[in-house]
Amino acid sequence: MSTTRAEFNEFFPQLTSVILSELPSFGATPEMVTRIKAMIEYNVTGGKMNRGLSVVDTVKIMRKETELPQDVNEKAMVLGWAVEWLQAFFLVADDIMDESPTRRGQPAWYRRPDVGILAINDAFILESCIYRLLKRYFRSEPYYIDLVELIHETSYQTELGQMVDLLTAPENDINLDRFSIEKHAYIVEYKTAYYSFYLPVAMALMMTGTPVDSPVYQVAKDILIPLGVYFQVQDDYLDCYGEPELIGKIGTDIEDNKCSWLVVQALDRVSAEQRNVLNDNYGRKQPAVHAERVKELYKELDIEGVYKAYEDKAISELEAKIANVDESLVPRAVFTAFLNKVAKRTK
């Protein structure tokens, strides 16, 4: 049985307490403790928690158990929240770099009057908390250093993806010559797929006794990285074509000059005249007619049809890869659980 968000959330205060209880040994003042508590609670919770829940559910699948023993469940929960903590670290920093006004329906952390540029150091603290928790709960485990190295490598991959994203579409510097299908593919693989899809499963594999030199990790990567790319392409599509009441936001990728899958597909298909339309309208925040003109061009190029064809092909290829998984190595259910959550989603 899948772990519920309520069960997952119930475990969170235990981890916050662990972090806060250590602070006096580092000479932390009551003011520091209060601020770190507020910063953790504001930034780590409040998301959909799909990444964290995936760790726990994958452990259940690997152990062929619907309910985990208490000690195993505790460790799986810690790793699940470690992924959510990593996500919080990325998002606090990302919001500063993108100058985002909001996150999860509330002001971005750096936009709070009592925070500002101090959010940079807060992001570092959020990252450090991950390793404090791993040390507390996993230091005696034989796979402890493998977990640490996995998170370090995943962080590096994500940061490289963020770097290419920022260099490709710098704020207030619109140049569509920087955009390409290849750059978009790199950004979505490195910035999203590794930490959102591969990391939770790799953690669960380590925790359930899969040696780091096992071919299972490559099998997982070969399925989960393309799945993560498909997920991000979906996000790009939904930003333009999704219903705001379903996706929970009004899409602004066009206005924000994002290197989106839609625009790189358009650039690959435009005539010289259509390219001029993109050059004149893409990345312009005001007036709204600019974004509408880009959407009209997408319609002329049938980018929605291009996406539907891509989606069908992506799902078909993923299903074929999953069908070929040797279940003596890893249950196919590990991957079908992910695909079922992602395929044809509308939010």
Which active-site residues does the annotation give? 48, 89, 94, 98, 103, 165, 191, 231, 235-236
Name the DSSP letter for residue 257.
T
Helix (H) or strand (E) holding 102: strand 102-103
* Helix ranges, the chain (H): 5-22, 30-44, 50-63, 70-98, 119-138, 144-168, 181-188, 199-207, 216-241, 244-247, 261-267, 272-281, 289-300, 303-323, 333-342
Residue 75 near residue 206, CB atoms below 8 Å: no
Residue 223 near residue 320, CB atoms below 8 Å: no
Question: In angstroms, what CA-CA distances link 167 with 92, 171, 183, 193?
Answer: 19, 9, 10, 19
Q: Which residue is it, tokens 């606090």?
A: 92
